[in-house]
Structure 1
Amino acid sequence: MREIVLDTETTGLDPFQGHRLVEIGCIELVNRIPSGQSFHRYLNPERDVPSEAAAIHGLSSEFLKDKPFFTEIVDDLVAFIGDAPLVAHNALFDLAFLNAELERVGKTLVPRDDDLCTRYGIDNSRRTKHGALLDAELLAEVYLELIGARQAQLILVDVGTSAIGAPAGPVPIRVRPTALAVRLTADERDAHLAFVATLGEGAIWCDYLEVRRPGVNA
């Protein structure tokens, strides 16, 4: 299964008021795992970039003036997306701008009914400015976490049934021959004992940590 994680940056909020794309970033997922293939372009919007927009994504009119026009990259973009479902943080926004740009050059992008568009808050502490490719990478990570695809090789079977469908025999209990070394420092152990002591004498932890009453027993 092939999917494309998409993000865009623009000159404003509404393509119907003359605002344009200034950056497109795409990440390819194959079977819900990043393939390493990406598509990334900065674009000359053929208009000014308002200071409010530049403050968000850091792309100024000066920076974009020598970048290609959308019409110059559209064929490569359409070829990269192909017929893959799109995953976008703000699908209505991104697709509105993308379709507006495509319409200007006489092309259309019709989203498939099964396009998966995920609206999920992304921790953006990894960057100080928005960036289409970085946002797409972050969204790809979030999407994979949401669908649990990082466990793609994990096979779960019902209790009593083997992976090939035959009744499974008793599962042997494996005992570690040598106990693992304690990794807690003395300060960490004392802090934990002090916390357990605040839970009261009835706390189940007391049976294991030998904390029988308020106070700390080393």
Structure 2
Amino acid sequence: MREIVLDTETTGLSHANGDRIIEIACVELVNHIPTGRSFQRYLNPERLVSADAFAIHGLSDAFLADKPRFAEIVAELEEFIQDSPLVIHNAEFDMGFINAELARLERRPLDPTRAVDTVQIARRKFPGAPASLDALCKRFGVDNSARTKHGALLDVELLAEVYLELVGGRQAGLALLAEPAPVTTIAGPHGDVAIRATAARPPRHFAPTAEELAAHAELLKKLADPIWMK
């Protein structure tokens, strides 16, 4: 199962008011395990970054001036994410910005049902608890000390760790290390059925020792009419 953890940084909070993406980053998971493949680009938004947004991510107009425009990287982005589910923290925000950029280029929008929203997962799992990325890092012991400013690539790397904790992916990853049992195919009433063989466990003996029997007898002497004597 391939999934893409995705995050964006933007010039402001509202794509409807013309705010644009200035950074987009993705990391690849396969079977809930990071593969080491990533995609990250800074972008020239063709407009000024708001003061409030700059305070969050620290990406200035001067820094972004010589960066490519979204139209120049969109094919690479689409090639990287393909049709995989998109793991996003507060998915409505990022999906809205990406689809606004795609609409400007008259390209097909991303299907919102592809998004796996980690905010919603966290709120279902921990009702009433803070669901910010920093709060979830603290809950799961994920080191976010380098996160002095928001940055899309750092944030997706942190989010990937948080997501694995939310869905139990670390345990699932450990299970992948075990050698799978052989599969046998048998004919069933509705077609062949695959059965994975499991090795029989050796018998375990639990006979009490002489000391345990003596201790049990002493205990029975202290009980009134014990059922063990009937």
Q: Secondary structure at the match of 2:117?
A: coil
Query: Which residue does 2:166 correspond to in 1?
Result: 146
- Give the letter for the 2:47 counterpart: R
Query: Which residue does 1:81 correspond to in 2?
Result: 81
Query: Which residue does 1:180 correspond to in 2?
Result: none
For structure 2, list consecutive stretches of 5 or more residues without a partner in the other structure.
Answer: 120-130, 135-143, 179-195, 207-230
1:36-51 aligned at under 5 Å gives the runs 36-51=36-51
Q: Secondary structure at the match of 2:29?
A: strand
Query: Which residue does 1:108 correspond to in 2?
Result: 108
Query: Which residue does 1:30 correspond to in 2?
Result: 30
For structure 1, list consecutive stretches of 5 or more residues without a partner in the other structure.
Answer: 156-162, 174-218
1:1-218 aligned at under 5 Å gives the runs 1-111=1-111, 113=113, 115-119=115-119, 120-123=131-134, 124-151=144-171, 152-154=173-175, 164-165=197-198, 167-171=200-204
Normalized against structure 1, the TM-score is what? Answer: 0.71
Q: Deviations over 1:28-72 (max 9, x none)?
A: 101110111001000000001111111100100010000000000
Separation of aligned partners in 2, 1:14 and 1:23 = 15
Q: Which has the higher helix share?
A: 2
Q: Percent identity?
A: 58
Q: Secondary structure at the match of 2:166?
A: helix
- Give the letter for the 1:84 counterpart: S
Normalized against structure 2, the TM-score is what? Answer: 0.67
Shift of 1:108: 1.9
* Kept after mapping to 2: 8 A contact 1:85/1:112: no
Separation of aligned partners in 2, 1:17 and 1:114 = 25
Shift of 1:148: 1.4
Pair 11,143 (structure 1): closer, same or farther in 2 beyond 3 Å: same
Pair 165,100 (structure 1): closer, same or farther in 2 beyond 3 Å: same
Separation of aligned partners in 2, 1:114 and 1:172 = 52
Separation of aligned partners in 2, 1:59 and 1:101 = 19
Separation of aligned partners in 2, 1:172 and 1:111 = 57
Paired residue total: 166
Separation of aligned partners in 2, 1:101 and 1:62 = 21
